[in-house]
Amino acid sequence: MRWRAAPQIFYERVCWPSRPPPGLRRPRQKGFTLLTTAMCLIAMIGMAGVAVDISRMFIAKNESQTYADSAALAAALELDGTQEGFTRARSRVSANPNGWDFATRNFSGSAVEFAKTETGPWQAAPENAKGYKCARVIANVPVPLLFIPVITGTGQGAFLMIAMTADVRADSAAGQVVKTSFREGIFPFSPFAHDTAGPHFGLEPGQVYTLRWASKPRLNQNVCAGDNSQQMISLAEAGGGEERGYIEETSSDVIRSAIEGDYQSVVREIGEPVNMTGGAKQTQLSSMINRINQDTDATSAAYADYTALNTGNGRRIVVVPINLGHPQYTIVQYAAFFLLPVSEYSAGGNSPFCAEYIGAWVQGSSHKGGDESGAYVVRLVR
């Protein structure tokens, strides 16, 4: 029986003709195609579902990274070496308008950390804010997974299908990066350094110094308080009466563009000289008044009042090159100065233009920077 069955099986499986020979029947195969199709459909739907979930995670990752990048940049702009700067930075992160899940959900519970350098260490609440120039934002969002389950053991030989969410994380840091070269944006006056030691070069934050000297400076008469010494007056007069502190071209159009619109005719870099072009045209005074009035807080008497009110847009905070004076006029530092109210600039050419020295300048910020002095631009650092 077994010997006779083997040829029949071989014939059925290998040599089966289009019409079976008499006495032999084709095996029943009804429903096989339907079963195969159903299994394939299930596999295809499963793979499509996995693709949908992966796409959701990919989109959420991009949305989270966009949020973290923009929030870190906004936070870094607020750092000014004070605890109030940390508070403003956290507020900017909380108020960030970017959302996730196609902008239908807001980010919440993001971690905000700070550091003095881009390499850390990172701290959520540093006790001393001095020198902190970097902000880091870490965002996590729970993305619901509709098709990817987790299968876990119950401990009794059975398995349980559990719906899950995927935690998508984004991490970004921005910092105030040193800027040593300017093609535009420098205020067209250059105060004198009081010594050769950085970072302040003898200037004291909170004190007022000379942007433009009076035509005939006299001790205790027409000199800004920080420069009210015979040594500084002699330095100002060493190059001649025409060298008043202004460093741009003297046409009225250029004066307006330089003071009111951040125009520069030449690129300026640390280590290079400035050219004291002199002059005390009425256009300078008019443009100074216009520049101050560009600020949304044109009335605060001092920088401390300006930051306490916190309604200014930063137009009264200017960056200037500090130079060593006659004969080279070499730039040794950039620094931020705060323009005084309009009433302080109402006199004519025999009066100086004074401004308050506040330290570090940050491009685009309405506050001073987190470091002692210098010029900075906020960029992503990781």
Tens digit of each residue's pLDDT (9 = 90 or more) over 41-52: 666 665 665 677
Tens digit of each residue's pLDDT (9 = 90 or more) over 109-155: 899 999 999 999 999 999 999 999 999 999 999 988 876 664 444 45
Tens digit of each residue's pLDDT (9 = 90 or more) over 24-69: 555 555 566 666 666 676 666 656 656 777 788 889 899 999 999 9
Token pair in block for residue 131: 């020198």
Phi/psi of residue 177, each to 5°?
Answer: -100, 140
Burial class of 95 by CB neighbour count within 10 A (0 to 12, 13 to 18, 19+): exposed
Q: Which of 39-53, 63-77, 175-189, 253-267 has the lowest mean pLDDT?
A: 39-53
The predicted pLDDT at position 37 comes to: 67
Provide the pLDDT confidence category of residue 349 given band limits of 50, 70 and 90.
low
Provide the pLDDT confidence category of residue 243 given band limits of 50, 70 and 90.
confident
The predicted pLDDT at position 1 comes to: 45
The predicted pLDDT at position 161 comes to: 52
Token pair in block for residue 30: 């009804």
Q: Per this entry, what is the length of the chain?
A: 382
First and final CA of the chain: distance in angstroms? Answer: 79
| Mean pLDDT of the 156-185 span | 82
The predicted pLDDT at position 144 comes to: 83
Residue 182 pairs with which residues in a beta bridge? Answer: 268
Cβ contacts of 350 within 8 Å, gap of 6 or more: 214, 215, 216, 222
| Element holding 155 (H helix, E strand) | none
| Mean pLDDT of the 272-280 span | 83
At residue 165, the 3 state secondary structure works out as strand
| Mean pLDDT of the 311-329 span | 96
Cβ contacts of 230 within 8 Å, gap of 6 or more: 219
Q: CA 173 to CA 69: how far, in whole Å?
A: 7
Q: In the chain, what are the domain boundaries?
A: 35-175, 181-380
The predicted pLDDT at position 314 comes to: 97
Task: Give percent above pLDDT 70 in the chain.
Answer: 81
| Element holding 144 (H helix, E strand) | strand 134-153
Token pair in block for residue 324: 């060593």
Amino acid at 95: A
Write b or e for each residue in 326-365: b if 16 or more Cβ atoms lie within 10 A of its Cβ, otherwise e.
beebbbbbbbbbbbbeeebbeeebebbbbbbbbbbbbbeb
The predicted pLDDT at position 9 comes to: 55
Token pair in block for residue 39: 């299994």
Q: Which of 18-32, 63-77, 347-361 has the lowest mean pLDDT?
A: 18-32
Does the pLDDT value for residue 12 go beyond 60?
no
**Could you tell me where the DSSP H helices lie in the chain?**
2-13, 32-78, 83-94, 230-237, 252-261, 282-293, 303-309
| Mean pLDDT of the 182-197 span | 96
| Mean pLDDT of the 62-85 span | 97
Token pair in block for residue 32: 């096989």
Residue with the larger pLDDT of the pair 46 and 214: 214
| Element holding 192 (H helix, E strand) | none
The predicted pLDDT at position 22 comes to: 62
Q: CA 228 to CA 219: how far, in whole Å?
A: 6
Query: What DSSP string runs through 343-378?
Result: GGG-S-TTS-EEEEEEE-EETT-SS--SSSSSEEEE
Does the pLDDT value for residue 15 go beyond 70?
no
Question: If we measure between CA atoms, which residue out of 221, 243, 212, 219 comes closest to residue 233?
Answer: 219
Q: CA 373 to CA 358: how far, in whole Å?
A: 8
At residue 70, the 3 state secondary structure works out as helix
Task: Give percent above pLDDT 90 in the chain.
Answer: 69
